[in-house]
């Protein structure tokens, strides 16, 4: 995912140069860096220091998104889309003016869910913390956010999954759905999965590829069950790229549109992330211990797992219930 920058980096006599336009006038400044990554970092710093305009929310958020664009994380597009919606209200606001009343007015004006508003306001907070000292010091008050709504575990029953699955037309999206259900992996981990991570001899998938540093959202190694193994073997024989999920030989960034189309045919909204919840609920309903489910899902411990899925287990609080006994005389 690319973000349009107000400048460009071009090669110049064995090195690199920062190039920008003021009207029709072209300007160029030679950079000290000798490789592309260093040149990008140097150019970004020079551009930020050369900007003498006030530190508005717009300047802070734009700078944060531009910095993120270098690594192009899966969340980049969501931040870009969020800023487009936020921009009319926040672009020219000075951080020192932000207070609880302004944040509440924004929430009411946007007319979105509490979760969406929290995400957007958090983007402002993160951007200001990322910005240089003069921007951070401009706002001393914490940004108000609406209370976090209780998180719902949206999942499909066995029958609902079959109906939805039959509504998917594209083979690569059908394979995605099976991987999402049986491995409970996050969407980004599935879309970035390469065939070399699928260990057919051991019947395992290593979701954290070599060289990738584990983040808080752990990508575990999980076993492949028989149905998924058959689907993966068939897909491997017909593969056109190094990626497990591809289209016309090229990796894809999202299956959201395909899910929307299948949801329309099915008659109920299903999102890619719902497959993770669905697999977890089914496992809990079958009596899987929360400690094992936590490892399978890549949770640090089973607190999060217990919070969302324990109530679906047939053993949920049974020990407590059975401990309560009347003892009539």
Q: Write the pLDDT tens digit of every residue in 129-183.
A: 887 665 554 555 578 999 887 777 899 999 999 999 999 999 999 999 999 999 9
pLDDT at 1: 46
Q: Tell me the per-residue pLDDT of 51-91, one tens digit each, with 9 for 90 and over.
A: 666 778 998 898 888 888 766 676 788 899 999 999 999 99
What integer best gives the mean pLDDT of the chain? 89
Minimum mean pLDDT range among 1-5, 92-96, 189-193, 257-261: 1-5
Q: What is the mean pLDDT of residues 78-106?
A: 92
Q: Is the pLDDT of residue 35 over 70?
A: yes
Q: Where are the domains of the chain?
A: 1-52, 54-150, 158-312
Determine the pLDDT at residue 105.
95
- 329 — pLDDT class (breaks 50, 70, 90): confident
What is the per-residue pLDDT for 241? 96
Report the 3 state secondary structure along the chain: CCCCCCCEEEEECCEEEEEEEECCEEEEEECCCCCHHHHHHHHHHHHHHHCCCCCCHHHHHHHHHHHHCCCCCCCHHHHHHHHHHHHHHHCCCCHHHCCHHHHHHHHHHHCCCHHHHHHHHHHHHHHHHHCCHHHHCCCCCCCCCCCCCCCCCCCCCHHHHHHHHHCCCCHHHHHHHHHHHHHCCCHHHHHCCEHHHEECCCCEEECCCCCCCCCCCCCCEEECCHHHHHHHHHHHHCCCCCECCEECCEECCCCHHHHHHHHHHHCCCCCCCHHHHHHHHHHHHCCCCHHHHHHHHCCCCCHHHHHHHHHHCCCCCHHHHHHCCCCCC
User: Which pLDDT score, from 0 to 100, does residue 258 have?
Assistant: 96
**Token pair 């509504």: residue:** 167
pLDDT in tens, 283-323: 999 999 999 999 999 998 999 999 999 999 999 999 999 99
The whole-number average pLDDT for the span 225-247 is: 96
pTM of the full structure:
0.66
Residue 188 has pLDDT above 70, yes or no: yes
Contacts of 231 (CB under 8 A, 6+ apart): 175, 178
Output the pLDDT for position 327.
86
Residue-level pLDDT at 4: 65
- On the question of pLDDT at 187 being above 60, the answer is yes
Which has more confidence, 277 or 327? 277
Per cent of the chain over pLDDT 90 is: 60
User: Residue 2 pLDDT > 70, yes or no?
Assistant: no
Task: Indicate the CATH number of 158-312 among 1.10.443.10, 3.30.360.10, 1.10.3210.10, 3.20.20.80.
Answer: 1.10.443.10
What's the rounded mean pLDDT across residues 19-30? 81
pLDDT given at position 45: 75
């Amino acid at each position: 995912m690319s973000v349009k920058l107000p400048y460009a980096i071009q090669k110049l006599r064995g090195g690199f140069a920062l190039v920008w336009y003021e009207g029709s006038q072209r300007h160029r400044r030679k950079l000290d860096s000798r490789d592309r990554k260093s040149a990008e970092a140097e150019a970004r710093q020079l551009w930020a220091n050369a900007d003498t305009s006030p530190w508005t929310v717009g300047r802070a958020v734009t700078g944060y998104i531009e910095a993120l664009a270098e690594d192009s994380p899966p969340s980049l597009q969501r931040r870009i889309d969020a800023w487009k919606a936020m921009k009319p209200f926040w672009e020219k606001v000075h951080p020192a003016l932000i207070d609880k009343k302004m944040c509440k007015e924004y929430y009411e004006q946007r007319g979105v869910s509490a979760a969406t508003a929290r995400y957007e306001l958090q983007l402002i907070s993160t951007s200001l913390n990322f910005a240089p000292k003069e921007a951070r010091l401009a706002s001393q008050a914490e940004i108000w956010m609406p209370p976090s709504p209780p998180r719902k575990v949206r999942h499909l029953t066995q029958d609902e999954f079959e109906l939805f699955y039959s509504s998917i037309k594209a083979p690569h999206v059908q394979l995605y759905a099976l991987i999402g259900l049986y491995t409970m992996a996050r969407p980004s981990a599935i879309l970035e999965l390469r065939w070399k991570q699928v260990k057919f001899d051991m019947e395992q998938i290593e979701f954290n590829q070599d060289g990738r540093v584990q983040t808080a959202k752990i990508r575990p190694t999980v076993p492949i069950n028989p149905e998924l193994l058959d689907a993966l073997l068939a897909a491997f024989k017909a593969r056109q790229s190094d990626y497990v999920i591809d289209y016309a030989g090229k990796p894809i960034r999202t299956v959201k549109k395909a899910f929307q189309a299948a949801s329309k045919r099915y008659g109920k909204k299903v999102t890619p992330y719902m497959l993770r919840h669905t697999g977890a609920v089914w496992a809990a309903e079958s009596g899987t211990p929360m400690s094992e489910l936590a490892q399978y899902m890549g949770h640090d411990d089973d607190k999060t797992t217990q919070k969302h899925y324990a109530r679906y287990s047939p053993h949920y609080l049974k020990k407590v219930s059975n401990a309560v006994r009347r003892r009539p005389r």
